[in-house]
Structure 1
Amino acid sequence: MILYKYVRFDDAIRILEEQTLAFSHLEDFNDPFECTGLGLYGLDVPLSVATNAFRSRFSRKYIILCLTRTALNPLMWSHYGDSYKGVVIGIDTKKAGFENIGQYIIPVQKGEIRYLRTCPKDINKANIDNLVSVGDSNLLNWEINEELLKHALLYKMQEWAYEEEVRIVKNISPANIGYHYSSSRKEFEIDGQIWNRIQLPTRPIYSIKIPKEAFVDVTLGLASYKELKRLQENETQDFNSIKINKLEKLFDLVRCLKMSAYRIDRNDDMWSLERKNINSIVY
Structure 2
Amino acid sequence: MTNASTIRVYHFCNQEFGLQNLEKARLKVATVMDLNDPFEMMCYSSSEEGMRKAISYFKSRVAELYGMLCFSKTFVSPVQWGHYGDRHKGLCLAFDVSAEDLHTVEYRKGRMQFDPEGFIKKSKDERFNIMLRQLRIKHSEWSYEKEVRQIFLLSKAEKIDELYFKPFSEIGKLRQVILGCNSSVSREQLKRSLGDRYGEVECFKVRTAFKNYKIVRNLDDSLWK
Give the TM-score normalised by structure 1.
Answer: 0.67
Show structure 1 runs of 4+ deviating over 4 A.
123-130, 277-283
Match 1:2 to one of 2, 8, 16: 8
Distance (Å, rounded) in 1 between the aligned partners of 2:63 and 2:79? 26
2:95/2:173 contact within 8 Å kept: yes
Structure 2 residue 153 is matched with structure 1 residue 171 = yes
Match 2:95 to one of 91, 98, 105: 91
Pairing 1:187-226 to 2, within 5 Å after superposition: 190=156, 195-199=157-161, 204-211=162-169, 214-224=173-183
Match 1:147 to one of 92, 116, 130: 130
**Partner SS, residue 211 of structure 1:** helix
Question: Structure 2: which amino acid aligns with 1:148?
Answer: M
Shift of 1:33: 0.7
Structure 2 residue 5 is matched with structure 1 residue 13 = no
| Aligned Cα root-mean-square deviation (Å) | 3.1
Structure 2 residue 80 is matched with structure 1 residue 76 = yes
Question: Structure 2: which amino acid aligns with 1:248?
Answer: E
Between Structure 1 and Structure 2, whose CA radius of gyration is higher?
A: 1
Distance (Å, rounded) in 2 between the aligned partners of 1:3 and 1:146? 24
Question: Structure 1: which amino acid aligns with 2:61?
Answer: R
Distance (Å, rounded) in 2 between the aligned partners of 1:166 and 1:264? 22
**Partner SS, residue 93 of structure 1:** strand
1:39/1:123 contact within 8 Å kept: no
Between the aligned residues of both structures, percent identity stands at 24
Structure 1's 75 and 205: CA in aligned 2 closer, same or farther, altered over 3 A?
A: same
Shift of 1:252: 3.2
**Partner SS, residue 41 of structure 2:** coil
Q: Which runs of 5 or more structure 2 residues have no equivalent in the other structure? A: 1-6
1:38/1:124 contact within 8 Å kept: no
Aligned to 2:3: none
Distance (Å, rounded) in 2 between the aligned partners of 1:122 and 1:250? 49
Distance (Å, rounded) in 1 between the aligned partners of 2:131 and 2:116? 6
Shift of 1:39: 5.7
